[in-house]
Structure 1
Amino acid sequence: MKTSIIALSMAAALAASTAASAVGRLVDLGVYDRTAEQELPVYRYQGRYYVAGQPGHRYQIHLRNIEGERVLSVISVDGVNAISGDTADWSQTGYVLGAYTSTDIRGWRKSLSQVADFVFADAAQSYATHTGRPNNVGVIGVAVFRARPLPRAILPMAPEAASGAQKAAESAAASPLPPPPAPASVTAVVPPVRTLDATGPLGTGHGPREESSVSYTDFKRSSATPDDVVTLYYDTRERLIAQGVIPSPGVPQPGLPEPFPGHFVPDPQ
């Protein structure tokens, strides 16, 4: 059994929004720019999803469970587990979301009550680079697991046996469980995010700490491999325009038919 973390501040439903999300089969993944106070639009290009970040801006990852059951979401930012700080792997700890609920993940988890803010930074100033793992900077990933199905219902027992079983269950429930181990952490000296280079590739820095409370819960995965993986790439707007992900302003895109190219019906040639 893997010990996982559940976010306490969950919304029962996500408000309607015109911004797109990177849509998976089990969860929707989005990014909210906390500095600009706006949801970042998601661009789909050659089968991949992208968002444009602004260097120096704080951001948060928004997850919405679109399943009618609990799911475990293992969060990777720049190839690093956002809870433990280990190089991201599917088998690691994550956040548990209840059916049809959503939550915001604001940073690298430092304890059950604090995170260090996610900050768009030059790749050289990213947390992954400062901990010796620069190869996967510029991507957010969520590995999603369904819960193992509950066992089948058992036929009713005789009244005497049922009474004894109920007393045993009540006694077990009253016994406190030992506290789960604290999440692992990477020992690294991470300097504060400095003035950023807006021309280089973008990464995620290790920002100031803030309050963000969670608690432990148990979750049994239905399988050892994820039921879905959602991937969202990010970079500066200028670099995404140069790569063709975002259309250049004022430049018409070839190959797209116009619905109203004229005003009246001409005679045929």
Structure 2
Amino acid sequence: MKPKLKFAAAAVAAGLAMLSASAVAIGNLADVRIFDRSGNRDLPIYWHEGKAYVAGRPGNEYQISIRNRAGIDVLAVVSVDGVNAVSGETASPEQTGYVLGNGVSYDIHGWRKSLSRTAAFYFTQLPDSYAARTGRPDNVGVIGVAVFRRKPVAPPVAVGSLSDRLESSPAAPAEAAHDSAASGASANKGKGASARSADSAEPRQRQSLAQPSLGTGHGRNETSLVRNVSFERATPYAEEVITIYYDSHANLLSRGIVAPVPVVRPQPQPFPGRFVPDPPRG
């Protein structure tokens, strides 16, 4: 099946819960992290029963940052709350996404509205999420990135007699080097452009802290430049699917996914005073 055109972001642009946060990025073929734009910080990853979680703050804008580590161009199909972040369709891995060159990083700020505009992602209560407002609330609270490698281009087949090929072989490397340099310059130019574009709580305490679930809203309009490119996938299935769940800190606390901040009580002192004070006047 021939793939559809994709957006080239790079071209323009164990056991019980682990209650402490570790890394801020996950993935093998690609690093994926969630960056709180309003708070200007990476959201730490909390691992619970083999799943990755981040804690979002209601009202804060965020971005999905992807870095290609595959050693070849990749297609990243991005899903937010079960909705394709480019097309707005109910998400499926065979849909459109972002193409990133080898080693390229790209920040996805919002829902793709056109080749030049996005609507910002922001954390909000479930009823205000884009998915819920479009009648699809069942998968609110999860971000997914399906990663496909580009299908390698087959080397050209030699044409002509053996003597012709042997005679022309000394000149061939120079021509190939020239072509390689030209394509490399184009890729570097594209990569430069992409930068412009491109202690456990008690159950009762946990229950009392729970809030409405978080989703992702359809926020302010922003400039974000991409262009259409063709992309042929090396496999019909995603070689890696990176999944990050999210909710408010209070809700993750109530579910035992994050640990509460311990209350520091001053150490009792046996002799807190130096002199005997007067008794209260009666």
Classify the TM-score, shorter chain.
0.7 to 0.9
Higher strand fraction (1 or 2): 1
In structure 2, the residue matched to 1:208 is 220
Equivalent in 153, 157, 163 of residue 150 of structure 1? 153
1:82 pairs with 2:82: no
Report if aligned partners of 2:12, 2:227 keep a CA contact under 8 Å in 1. Answer: no
1:123 aligns to 2:126 (yes or no): yes
Q: Equivalents in 2 of 1:35, 1:72: separation in Å?
A: 28
**Aligned match of 2:76:** 73
Q: Distance in 1 between matches of 2:130 and 2:49?
A: 28
Q: Which portions of structure 1, spanning 4 or more consecutive aligned residues, are displaced by more than 3 angstroms?
A: 156-160
Distance 1:65 1:131 in 2: 31
Work out whether residues 138 and 203 of structure 1, in 8 Å CA contact, stay in contact via their aligned partners in 2.
yes
2:251 match: 239
* Whole-Å separation in 1 of the counterparts to 2:224 and 2:101: 18
Paired residues of 2:68 and 2:101 also in contact (CA < 8 A): yes
Q: Deviations over 1:46-75 (max 9, x none)?
A: 111010000000000000111110000000
CA–CA distance in 1 between the matches of 2:118 and 2:223? Answer: 7
Correspondence for 1:6? 8
State the SS of the aligned residue for 1:129.
Answer: helix
**Residue in 1 that maps onto 2:16:** none
Question: 2:114 maps to what in 1?
Answer: 111
Amino acid at match of 1:93: T
Aligned-residue sequence identity (percent) comes to 47
- In the aligned structure 2, how far is the partner of 1:227 from the partner of 1:136? 22
Give the match for residue 15 of structure 1: none
Tell me, what secondary structure is at the counterpart of 2:8?
Answer: strand
Residue 157 of structure 1 and its aligned partner are, at CA, apart by 4.0
Once the two structures are superposed, the pairs formed by residues 1-269 of structure 1 within 5 Å of their partners are 1-7=3-9, 8=11, 10=13, 20-155=23-158, 157=160, 199-250=211-262
- C-alpha distance in structure 1 between counterparts of 2:233 and 2:28, whole Å: 17
TM-score (ref. length: structure 2): 0.70
- Which one-letter code corresponds to 2:121 in the other structure? F
Aligned-residue RMSD, C-alpha: 2.3
| Matched length | 210
In 2, are the aligned partners of 1:9 and 1:103 still within 8 Å (CA)? no
Which structure has more helix as a fraction of its residues?
Answer: 2
- Give how far 1:242 is off: 1.1
Unaligned runs of 5+ in 2: 14-20, 169-174, 176-209, 264-282
How far off its partner does 1:156 sit? 5.4
- SS state at 2:5 partner: strand
Task: Report the alpha carbon displacement of residue 24 of structure 1 after superposing the two structures with TM.
Answer: 1.8
3-state SS, counterpart of residue 230 of structure 2:
strand
**1:116–1:207 CA contact under 8 A, matched in 2:** yes
Amino acid aligned to 2:43: L
AA partner of residue 242 (structure 2): V
- Cα-to-partner distance string for 1:5-56 (whole Å, 9 max, x where unaligned): 011455xxxxxxx972342221111011111111111111111101000000
Q: Contact conserved, 1:4 with 1:94, CA < 8 A, in 2? A: yes
Distance 1:87 1:150 in 2: 31
Give, in whole Å, the separation in 2 of the partners of 1:133 and 1:152.
46
Alignment deviations for residues 144-203 of structure 1 (CA, whole Å, 9 cap, x no partner): 00111211342354679x9xxx9xxxxxxxxxxxxxxxxxxxxxxxxxxxxxxx921000
Structure 1 residues not aligned, in runs of 5+: 11-17, 167-197, 252-269
